[in-house]
C-alpha cells in the first residue's frame, strides 16, 4: 500500500522518468477517451503489471488530486482540471516548441528563453503537479553531443519557419560520396522520422522541393531574405502514396497484402502505419493487413523486421524481395558456421 502522506514514492532515475511519462499519458488517455480503458487495458498498453497501474492510479488520485473514477466499461475523470490562458513571447514560444519536439532528448535547459518558458508552463498547473513536472522535464542521463547539436539546429529552423526567412545550409549529401555543398533553402515543414528529424524545403540550388536530414546539416545560417510557402503546397501530396519518407518518382502504388500471426497482428493493428491501411482479424486469429502504397526499401525493412510472424501475400515482387533477403541472410550465417 502507498503511504497516503507520501504520494510520491522513491524510484531510481530511470524509473522516475518512465513513471512520470506514463502518468501523464494515462491522464491524457482517460481524458480523451473516458469509459474506454480498464486497468487491464492500461497494463497491456504500457506493458507493465496490473498492480503497477493500480499504483499509478493512486498517485493520480492522491498525488495529483485528479478524481479518477472506475466506471462499468473503464476509467473516467470526474472533473478535468482547467488551465488558465497564457501568452508567450516569440522567443519563449519557439524555445518551448523545440523542447517539445526534442522529446526531452536534450540535457538541461538550453537557453534562458527555454528556462522562462518551462517555468511559466509549470506555474499554470496546480501545485500537486509540481513533482511530476520536475521529473518529466529533468535531463536524461544518456544525452549525447549529437542531440545537443540537433536541438540547436531545430531552434534555427523553427525560427526560420515562424518568420519565413531563408536559411543558408552547409549540407553533406548521402549520395555522391558524402559531397559537402552550400545551398539556400526555404523551409516548408519539419517532421520527426525514426531517430532524427527531416526538413522539407525548396532548394534554390536544385530548384525543387527536397528533404534534408537534420543530422547532415553541418551549419545553418538564418538570412534576412524572406520567402512564402506556395499556397498549393500540401505535405501529404508531396510525400505521396509511399511508405516512410523515401520517395520513388514515377513508381505507382500497389496493393500490398500481409498476413500476420495473431500476437504480431494485434500489435500492428494498434498503430497508424499508412492512410490506406485496413486490418481484418481472421477466424484462426491471424490478421490480414492490406494497404495501397509504393513498395520502397523502407517497407521491405519493416516487413523483414517481423521475421517469421508475417507472410507477404501480394504483390509478388515484394514477396520475391523478401525471399531473396532471407536467402542472403541464411547464407551469411551458414557461411559463418562453416
The rounded distance, in Å, linking the Cα atoms of 31 and 105 is 26
Number of domains in the chain: 4
The owner of cell 510525400 is: 239
Task: Give domain status of residue 5, yes or no.
Answer: no
Which tens digits make up the pLDDT trace of 273-321?
Answer: 888 999 999 999 999 999 999 898 889 999 999 999 999 999 999 999 9
At 20 the pLDDT is 77
Domain range for 24:
13-77
Task: Give domain status of residue 330, yes or no.
Answer: yes
At 89 the pLDDT is 65
The SS3 of residue 258 is strand
**Same domain membership, residue 159 and residue 106:** no
**Same domain membership, residue 184 and residue 154:** yes
Would you state the torsion angle of the CA atoms of residues 74, 75, 79, 82, taken in this order, to the nearest 10 degrees?
-110
Listed residue (240, 247, 243, 180) closest to 210, CA to CA: 247
Tell me the mean pLDDT in the region 167-178.
83
Dihedral sign for Cα 291, 297, 303, 305, please. Answer: negative
**Domain with 171 in it: what CATH number?**
2.30.30
Which tens digits make up the pLDDT trace of 193-226?
Answer: 877 889 999 999 999 999 999 989 999 988 989 9
Which tens digits make up the pLDDT trace of 132-167?
Answer: 656 555 554 455 567 677 777 887 888 888 788 999
**Same domain membership, residue 206 and residue 284:** no
Split at pLDDT 50, 70, 90, the class of 249 is low
186, pLDDT greater than 90? yes
What are the CA-CA distances from residue 220 to residues 169, 192, 197, 280 (Å)?
5, 18, 15, 47
Split at pLDDT 50, 70, 90, the class of 324 is very high
* pLDDT top residue among 167 and 235: 167
Q: What is the DSSP letter of 177?
A: G
Listed residue (312, 325, 308, 315) closest to 292, CA to CA: 315
CA angle 150, 156, 158 (to 5 degrees): 95
Which tens digits make up the pLDDT trace of 76-101?
Answer: 988 766 667 767 665 665 565 556 54
Task: Give domain status of residue 4, yes or no.
Answer: no
Q: What is the DSSP letter of 119?
A: H
* pLDDT top residue among 86 and 59: 59
The rounded distance, in Å, linking the Cα atoms of 109 and 243 is 35
Tell me the mean pLDDT in the region 250-268.
92
At 94 the pLDDT is 55
Q: In the numeric block, which cell numbers belong to residue 305?
A: 523486421
Which tens digits make up the pLDDT trace of 110-139?
Answer: 445 555 556 666 666 667 666 665 655 555
Phi, psi of 71 (to 5 degrees): -95, -175
At 105 the pLDDT is 44
Count of CB atoms within 10 A of residue 272's CB?
A: 6
Which tens digits make up the pLDDT trace of 7-39?
Answer: 545 455 456 667 777 888 888 788 878 899 999
The SS3 of residue 187 is strand
At 63 the pLDDT is 81
The rounded distance, in Å, linking the Cα atoms of 243 and 236 is 12
Split at pLDDT 50, 70, 90, the class of 104 is very low
Q: H-helix or E-strand containing 49?
A: none
Residue 83: strand pairing partners: none
Task: Give domain status of residue 82, yes or no.
Answer: no
**Same domain membership, residue 173 and residue 226:** yes
At 33 the pLDDT is 84
Split at pLDDT 50, 70, 90, the class of 243 is confident
Task: Give domain status of residue 207, yes or no.
Answer: yes
Pairing of strands 310-314, 287-293: unpaired
At 37 the pLDDT is 92
**Same domain membership, residue 330 and residue 259:** yes
At 3 the pLDDT is 47
Amino acid at each position: 500500500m502507498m503511504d497516503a502522506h507520501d504520494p510520491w514514492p522513491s524510484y531510481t532515475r530511470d524509473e522516475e522518468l518512465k513513471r512520470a511519462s506514463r502518468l501523464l499519458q494515462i491522464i491524457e488517455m482517460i481524458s480523451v477517451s473516458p469509459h474506454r480503458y480498464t486497468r487491464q487495458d492500461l497494463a497491456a498498453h504500457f506493458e507493465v503489471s496490473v498492480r503497477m497501474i493500480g499504483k499509478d492510479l493512486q498517485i493520480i488520485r492522491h498525488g495529483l488530486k485528479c478524481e479518477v473514477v472506475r466506471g462499468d466499461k473503464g476509467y473516467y475523470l470526474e472533473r478535468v482540471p482547467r488551465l488558465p490562458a497564457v501568452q508567450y513571447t516569440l522567443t519563449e514560444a519557439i524555445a518551448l516548441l523545440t523542447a517539445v519536439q526534442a522529446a526531452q532528448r536534450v540535457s538541461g535547459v538550453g537557453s534562458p528563453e527555454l528556462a522562462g518558458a518551462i517555468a511559466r508552463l509549470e506555474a499554470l498547473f496546480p501545485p500537486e503537479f509540481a513533482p511530476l513536472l520536475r521529473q518529466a522535464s529533468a535531463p536524461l542521463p544518456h544525452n549525447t553531443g549529437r542531440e545537443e547539436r540537433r536541438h540547436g539546429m531545430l531552434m534555427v529552423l523553427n525560427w526560420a519557419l515562424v518568420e519565413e526567412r531563408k536559411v543558408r545550409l552547409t549540407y553533406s549529401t548521402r549520395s555522391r560520396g558524402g559531397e559537402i555543398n552550400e545551398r539556400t533553402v526555404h523551409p516548408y515543414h519539419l517532421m520527426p522520422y525514426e531517430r532524427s528529424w527531416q526538413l522539407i524545403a525548396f532548394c534554390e540550388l536544385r530548384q525543387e522541393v527536397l528533404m534534408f536530414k537534420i543530422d547532415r546539416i553541418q551549419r545553418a545560417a538564418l538570412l534576412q531574405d524572406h520567402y512564402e510557402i506556395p499556397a498549393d503546397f500540401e505535405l501529404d501530396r508531396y510525400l505521396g502514396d509511399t511508405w516512410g519518407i523515401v520517395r520513388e518518382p514515377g513508381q505507382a502504388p500497389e496493393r500490398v497484402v500481409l498476413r500476420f500471426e495473431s500476437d504480431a497482428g494485434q500489435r500492428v493493428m494498434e498503430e497508424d502505419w499508412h492512410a490506406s491501411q485496413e486490418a481484418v482479424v481472421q477466424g484462426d486469429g491471424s490478421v490480414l493487413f492490406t494497404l495501397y502504397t509504393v513498395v520502397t526499401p523502407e517497407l521491405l525493412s519493416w516487413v523483414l523486421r517481423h521475421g517469421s510472424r508475417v507472410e507477404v501475400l501480394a504483390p509478388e515482387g515484394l514477396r520475391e524481395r523478401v525471399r531473396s533477403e532471407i536467402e542472403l541472410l541464411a547464407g551469411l550465417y551458414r557461411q559463418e558456421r562453416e
